[in-house]
Amino acid sequence: MKAILVDIRISSEKFLMLYQGVAETVYTRSLDGRSVQFPARILKPFLLRDGINGRFKIMFDDQGKYQGIEKLS
C-alpha cells in the first residue's frame, strides 16, 4: 500500500464550509512537495473545537484509490 504524508491546519470556521458542502475537496502539498487533493469528508473524525491540526498519513492502493487515513501527530 502506498502512502503520502501531509501537514494539515484548517480552522474550525474553514472546516465548517467543508462540512456544510460549500467545498468538498481539500488541496494541499505533501511533505515531499507533491500536490494532493482528497475529499474533505475523510477528515471529519479528526475535527476538534479548534479545527484540524496535525500530520496525517493518507494511504491508497496502486490505482490511487483511497484506503485510509491516520493521524501521526
* pTM exceeds 0.75, yes or no: yes
- Predicted confidence band of residue 71 (pLDDT cuts 50, 70, 90): very high
Closest CA to 56 of 44, 21, 14: 44
Residue range 26-40: mean pLDDT, rounded: 93
| Nine-digit cell string for 40 | 474533505
Closest CA to 1 of 55, 63, 56: 63
Residue range 53-68: mean pLDDT, rounded: 95
Residue 25 has pLDDT above 90, yes or no: no
What is the structure's pLDDT at 72?
97
Cβ atoms of 15 and 51 closer than 8 Å: yes
Mean pLDDT across the chain: 90
Architecture label for domain 2-71: Beta Barrel (2.40)
